[in-house]
Structure 1
Amino acid sequence: MTLISPTVDSFGERESFAVDSLFRSHRNACLVIVSNSMDSEQGRALLKPFIDNQFRVTAVKPDFAAAFKNTPAETWFRDLKSGRVRPGDVPVAQNLSNLLRLALLYKFGGIYLDTDVVVLRSFNGLRNCIGAQTVDAVTGNWSRLNNAVLIFDRNHPLVVVERVIGDSGFNFTVMPPAAFYPVDWSRIAALFHGPRGRVHARWLRKKLEQIKKESFAVHLWNRQSRDVKIEDGSVMSRIRMEYCSTFCNSSSSSSS
C-alpha cells in the first residue's frame, strides 16, 4: 500500500478495515505501507492492533529516488525536482503514488492495494493481473483499467500495459470489473445505504450475493464515498460484519 499524505488523519476506519480484511484472507501476508506519515509514532499506534495479533505489517518512508532508479520514471522525477517539467493536471501526490506503486512492483513483485480496497477472499492463484474498471457495452472488451489493485511478478512490463495488449511476448490477465470494481465510482454510495423499501431490500440482497460470489475485493472509491455513512442493512454493513475482526474488535473494546 502507499499513502502519500502529510498526516495520518487520512488513515481512518476505512483504511484500518481494509488492512483487517487483507489479513483475514491472507493470514501470513507481509504488508508494507509506504508512507511518510505512517512511518511515525502515530502511525505505529494505528497499526498496533494488527501487530499485537502477530500480523506482519510495517510502514516505511518512501525513497523516491531509489524506487525510480533504472526505471522510466527516473528522468521524469529528476526533471520534476529541478523544475524542468510541470506535473500536469494530475496532482503531484497522485502522480507520485501511481509511479511509486509501479516502480516498487517492477523491482520487487507482489500485490499492490489502495488503502480503500476491502479484500473478500484470497488472491492465491491470481498472477500478473490488473482489473478492468469498465467494459465496452458492445464489444465486451475492457475500456478502462484501474491501478487500485495490481498483482505482478518482479520485472513484469506492466507499466506499458496498453502497448502490449495482444502481444504474445507478455503474459498478464485483465480481470473483469466484478473482480475488484463491482460498483462504479458514480454508484458507490448505493453500497452504504440501507433498504428504502421491499424492492430496494431485494436489490441489496442480490448485490451482496453477487459481490460475494464474483468479487475478490471491493474498491470503495474513498474520494466519492468518504463522507457517506454505513447504514444498517446496507451491503457495506453486511460486508463489515463478515470481513472485519481485529480492527473492529479493537475499536469496540477501546470505545467501551
Structure 2
Amino acid sequence: LLLSSMASLKGLRIFAIIVIIVTIAYIGKIYFKYEDYYIPNGMFSLSENETSNPNSATTILRKGNGILFVETTDRMEPPSLVLCAIEAAARVYPDRPVAFFMKGLEDIITEEDEKRAKERFPSLSPFGNVYLFPLRMDQLFNNTPIKSWFDKVDPRKEIYWTHVSSDACRFAMMWKYGGIYMDTDVISLRPVPEDHFLADETSTSTSSAVFGLSSHYQLAWQFMENFVENYRGDLWGHQGPGVVTRVVKKLCGWPVFNSTDDVMCSNISYFHPQRFYPILYPSWRQYYEVWQILPTFNNSYALHLWNYMNNKGISMVPGSSTLVEHIYQKYCPTTYEYVLGKLT
C-alpha cells in the first residue's frame, strides 16, 4: 500500500510538471505573438511632469483612444479649416479625447491654464472632449529613433521643415499615445470602425494623413526607423506618405482592391481610397465649387481636403453654396457660425 501511494504521488508530480511546462510554453507563445506587434512599455521612461500632471497629454490620452492633431508652426490663430477638422472630430467621437498639439502654446499645468488656452478658440470651447497641449518636440522624441535625427537636423536649412517636422511628430505621437492621427484638413463624417488601420491614398501611395494604431505598436516604431534611415527632407512627401508606403511594401507587398471593399495588410485593415479620398488630389478644387447634386460620401469616414494643394489660400465662404460650405454647415456648424459672425 505504501509503495502504491508513493507511485501515485510520483505520478501526480510528473503530471504537475507536465502541466507547468505546457502552461509556460502556451504563455510564451502568446507573449511572442504579442511581441511581434508591440514594444514593451518598460523599455521607455516618462518624465516626472508627464506622470504627475493630471492635465498632461500622457494622462488625458492614457487609454490610447485619442484623436490626434498637430500644429508645428507657432501660429495661434489657425484657419477655419483646422477648427472645422477638430470640431468635426469632437462631434463624431464624443466619448474620445480630441487632442490638438500646438507648438506655439504655453505650458498647461493647471485647469485654469487649460481654460485660458481653450478660450482663445471660441468655436472649440463648447466641446468638453477637446484638449489643447503644447508641442515640445524635444520631449516627444525622447526614447524614439527620431531623437537622433532631431538632435542633428538644422531647421533653417530644411526646405519643408513645417511638413517634415509634422511627419516626425505624427509617428512619435502615434507610438507614444496611440489612437487615430488626422491632418488638420481631414473632416470627420462618421466613426472609423477599426482601431488599427492604414489607408490607400492613390494606386501607388499609402496615406500618412490619417491612420490608427495602439500605443507602442511596433508599426509606429518601424515608421520612425524608416523616417530616419531614408531621410530626404528635400523631397516633398518622402517623409510622410513615402515612409508609410515603404513600410507597407515591406510588410505586405502592395494591397490590391478588387472592389470598394477594404483589404488586409498583415493583421491591419487597409482601407480603400473611398474611405478618406473620395475626391482625389488632382480634383481638389471640386471642394470649392458649386455642385448641382451634393455627394453623399456614404462610403467615407472622413474627407481629406488636400490643403497643401491649395497654395492660393482658397477658403470656405459663407453664402457661396460650394461643397465645402455644405460640409462646414453639416459637420462643423459651430465653426461655420463663428466664421459667419466674423464677417458680420
Q: Report the Cα distance in structure 2 between the residues aligned to 1:217 and 1:108, rounded to whole angstroms.
A: 21
Given that 2:201 and 2:273 are in contact with CA atoms closer than 8 Å, whether structure 1 keeps it comes out as yes
The reply to whether residue 153 of structure 1 matches residue 214 of structure 2 is yes
Matched, 1:172 2:268: yes
**SS of the residue aligned with 1:103?**
helix
TM-score normalised by length of structure 2: 0.60
Name 1:191's counterpart in structure 2.
Answer: 287
Specify the code of the residue in structure 2 equivalent to 1:58.
Y
2:72 equivalent in structure 1: 4
- Report the Cα distance in structure 2 between the residues aligned to 1:58 and 1:154, rounded to whole angstroms: 18
SS of aligned partner of 1:24: helix
In structure 2, the residue matched to 1:163 is 250
**Matching residue within 128, 134, 140 for 2:202:** 134
- Given that 2:72 and 2:102 are in contact with CA atoms closer than 8 Å, whether structure 1 keeps it comes out as yes
Aligned to 1:107: 176
User: Counterpart of 1:175 in structure 2: which amino acid?
Assistant: F
Which secondary structure state, in structure 1, belongs to the residue aligned with residue 285 of structure 2? helix
- The SS at the match of 1:163 is helix
1:116 to 178, 185, 189: 185
| Structure 1: gaps (5+ residues) | 136-142, 196-200
User: CA contact under 8 A between 1:189 and 1:228: conserved in structure 2?
Assistant: no
Quote the residue 2:124 is aligned against. Answer: 50
Q: Larger relative contact order (C-alpha < 8 A, sep ≥ 6)?
A: 1
Identity %: 19
Q: How many residues align?
A: 231
Give 3-state SS (helix, strand or coil) of 2:208's partner. Answer: strand
Are 1:17 and 2:84 matched, yes or no? yes
Unaligned segments of structure 2, at least 5 residues: 1-68, 108-112, 224-246, 254-263
Given that 1:106 and 1:154 are in contact with CA atoms closer than 8 Å, whether structure 2 keeps it comes out as: yes
- Answer yes or no: is 1:74 the counterpart of 2:147: yes
- Please state if 1:33 is matched with 2:100: yes
Task: Give distance in 1, aligned partners of 2:141 and 2:266.
Answer: 22
Whether the 8 Å contact between 2:284 and 2:305 is mirrored in structure 1 is yes
| Residue type at the aligned position of 1:129 | F
Letter in 1 for 2:147: E
The CA deviation at 1:234 is: 2.9
Give the residue type in structure 2 aligned to 1:128. Answer: H
Deviation at 1:60, TM superposition (A): 2.2
Alignment check: 8 A CA contact 1:128 1:152 kept: yes
Change (3 A) 1:181 1:3: same
Q: What residue in structure 2 maps to residue 222 of structure 1?
A: 307
Tell me the distance in 1 between the aligned counterparts of 2:147 and 2:171: 12
- 1:29 deviation in Å? 2.5
One-letter code aligned to 2:275 = A
The letter of the residue matching 1:155 is: H
CA-CA distance at 1:57 after TM superposition? 2.0
> Distance in 2 between the 1:121 and 1:27 partners?
11
Aligned-CA RMSD value: 2.9
Higher alpha-carbon Rg: 2
1:80 offset after TM fit, Å?
1.7
The verdict on how the C-alpha distance between 1:186 and 1:29 changes in structure 2, with shifts beyond 3 A counting, is same
Deviation (angstroms), 1:149: 0.7
For residues 185 and 253 of structure 1, what CA distance do their matches in structure 2 show?
31
Partner of 1:239: 327
Residue pair 1:34, 1:59 contacting (<8 A) in 2 also: yes
Distance 2:265 2:274 in 1: 27
Q: What's the counterpart of residue 198 of structure 1?
A: none
Q: Is the alpha carbon distance of 1:39 and 1:172 closer, same or farther for their aligned partners in structure 2, counting shifts above 3 Å?
A: farther
1:247 is displaced (CA, Å) by 2.3
